Structure 1
Amino acid sequence: MIRGIFETHINVSNYIESALFYEKLLNIIPLHEDPIRKSKFYWVGKPGESMLGIRENYPSPLIQRQHFAFKVDLADILKARSYLEGLGIKSENFYGESSEKLIVFPFMPAVSIYFEDPDGHSVELLAMLEDASRPDLELMAWDEWEQLHGRKMPAFEKWL
């Protein structure tokens, strides 16, 4: 099911200063900036293959919750909820709501499901979508994304 680590996020004290550092040092490709969340995202290597995110004091300067994502196939996202449930692991969407309504990140585009490890770190299973990137759109429910592209939402499956 897991094909590799897709992304990792690091917590920084000043995201603008860190962005300048990483952009200069690593020559990575800027992807998306979210000034409200004081975050910036980069493609590492070929776009769509691996991502680095920097976040300022997230969720606070005192508590440094870490986050990373595993890359999975789209078919596995459709099985992930029942698989995690079978392991006794609660899953959710990007907003911390039910994983029955997963969220698409149009700037990539990708869809993902979240859960926590025993230490409370945020773990994500992420699948890239084959559609063109739409950085002009806000995050949206997966079914809305599918409707936008004239498709029916795929059905979630049971893990076998």
Structure 2
Amino acid sequence: MIKGLYETHIQVSNLENAIQFYTEVLGLTLAHRDETRPIAFLWIGKGKDFMLGLWEQKENLQPRHFAFSSDKEDILNYSVDYLQNRNLKPYNFLKDGIDKPMVFAWMPALAIYFNDPDGNQLEFISVLEGEGRPEWGVISYEEWVSKNNEGK
């Protein structure tokens, strides 16, 4: 019955600023703006496969987390520069000051994080080939490759 996640919604403190951030900085497309309420909907990617809803909330803002599907090569080769060139600070799941993508070995998946202007925690993620190895924890991509090549 369930094929995937179609949309998610987040709270933002200023709808105009959020629309600008998500369209001009991240490249999403404005799909619809509700003129009767402070709400906007954005298309993620090409077509109408995925949507992000922005809800303006002036008080008690509750930041959320969600991840954008990305290609492994884009995350490895371009994500840090992509974010830094947009004045965004990339960080890994460990928040250890290293701005390189990390691997969640249990999945396995490669990911890098950043925040929107309202503190919502955003992520670029790519599921990797191979079996998950939860005992490896969260490791660098280089360590993931090395461990997977041991014994071959």
Per the normalisation by structure 1, the TM-score is 0.51
How many angstroms does 1:90 deviate by? 0.8
In 2: Cα distance, 1:6 partner to 1:143 partner: 32
Q: Deviations over 1:71-101 (max 9, x none)?
A: 0010110211001111111110101234443
In the other structure, the counterpart of 1:90 is 89
Query: What code does the residue aligned with 1:121 have?
Result: N
In 2: Cα distance, 1:84 partner to 1:66 partner: 19
SS in 2 for 1:88: coil
In 2: Cα distance, 1:131 partner to 1:98 partner: 28
In the other structure, the counterpart of 1:73 is 71
Is residue 7–residue 69 contact of structure 1 (8 Å, CA) maintained in 2?
no
Per the normalisation by structure 2, the TM-score is 0.54
Once the two structures are superposed, the pairs formed by residues 44-83 of structure 1 within 5 Å of their partners are 64-78=62-76, 79-83=78-82
How many angstroms does 1:64 deviate by? 4.2
For structure 1, the 5+ residue unaligned runs are 9-61, 152-160
In the other structure, the counterpart of 1:135 is 134
In the other structure, the counterpart of 1:103 is 102
After TM superposition, the runs of 4+ consecutive aligned structure 1 residues lying more than 6 A away are: 4-8
In 2: Cα distance, 1:69 partner to 1:139 partner: 17
Percent sequence identity over aligned pairs: 39
Query: What code does the residue aligned with 1:74 have?
Result: K
Across the aligned residues of Structure 1 and Structure 2, the Cα RMSD in angstroms comes to: 3.0
SS in 2 for 1:101: coil
For structure 2, the 5+ residue unaligned runs are 9-59
